[in-house]
Amino acid sequence: MVRVEEVIALIVKCLPKCPICGADSQYEVSGVFKNYVHCKSCLAKFVSTDFISGKELKTLQLWEVDKEGKSSYLLRKEQPISFWQSLDLKSNTSQGDAFVALKGMTESEYEACMNNLGLLEGEEVRLRYVCFRHVMSPPSAIRQLFVDDGSPRMESKKGLLVFTNDNMVFMQQEGTWSSNYAQALRVPLENISGVVSGGTMITHIRVLVGVGGSSEQHEFATFQSEDKPIHMVRADIEKLLKEIRQERKRLAQEAITRGTVPTMIFCKFCGTRNKADQSHCGSCGAPLT
């Protein structure tokens, strides 16, 4: 019977990185005949009769992605090893992507979110997280009947938090058991003034929008699609915001150099979008000309 070490060596030779999550050689072997291999990072489980012989890995089939076995039909089919070697799930995040495996959300739920995302021309998805948004909701009629304080209560709304190169969007589930998702929040990236993370048992990201007295906060918790610590999730968001602001400052400086006046003016100091007839930035107060 083939040894565990031989099976590991076989899959590492063909797939040094997990084709689902991109983790480096983090495989474990299971099954009576040692014909199942799963990635310790994303829990994706693969099966192949070639594991039993231990000679050459020709075909591979995705058995499950996570504990709920959520995966697309094409990935579940037995495919030649060349298919898995060329697969790049991590970089393929365009709208309508058929190769998506996010923990906490089925493929049909993800497609529902992306179909209603409303991307504009030139807008691209950069980050996406399955999580819960904390919102204050007024008491229901039944609660008002038995609780006479009339105070709002905190609710957790499941959804997909998406960061594009232009906006932060939260696609919210319409009901606990619903497969429909609608856009509940859309915030231009230039309006985001900060991102903080915290929590121990239930970790969260708090996005600060606006400045001064008009500022507001949006809190997102339990990032189901991420195995990384919450501070690393925050770092990814901050990195994206920095890159977008630098790009907009560059475009603003180029427009000033050319002497053109665009419909919208991005501040060359902070990257905030302003109307063309404004003389000073509405965020930092710097002159726009």
**Cross-strand pairs, 182:** 172
Distance CA 221, CA 237 (A): 14
Place of tokens 């999730």: 233
For residue 205, with 0-12 CB atoms within 10 Å meaning exposed, 13-18 middle and 19 or more buried, which class applies?
Answer: buried
Token pair in block for residue 110: 């993800």
Place of tokens 């609660």: 143
The pLDDT score that the predictor gives to residue 190 is 86
- Residue ranges of domains in the chain: 4-86
Low-confidence ranges of the chain (pLDDT < 50): 66-71, 90-100
- Summarised one tens digit per residue, pLDDT across range 153-203 is 778 899 999 999 989 999 999 887 778 899 999 999 988 999 999 887 788
The pLDDT score that the predictor gives to residue 75 is 65
Q: Does pTM top 0.85 for this prediction?
A: no
C-alpha 46: how far from its chain's center?
24
The pLDDT score that the predictor gives to residue 167 is 92
Distance CA 180, CA 204 (A): 24
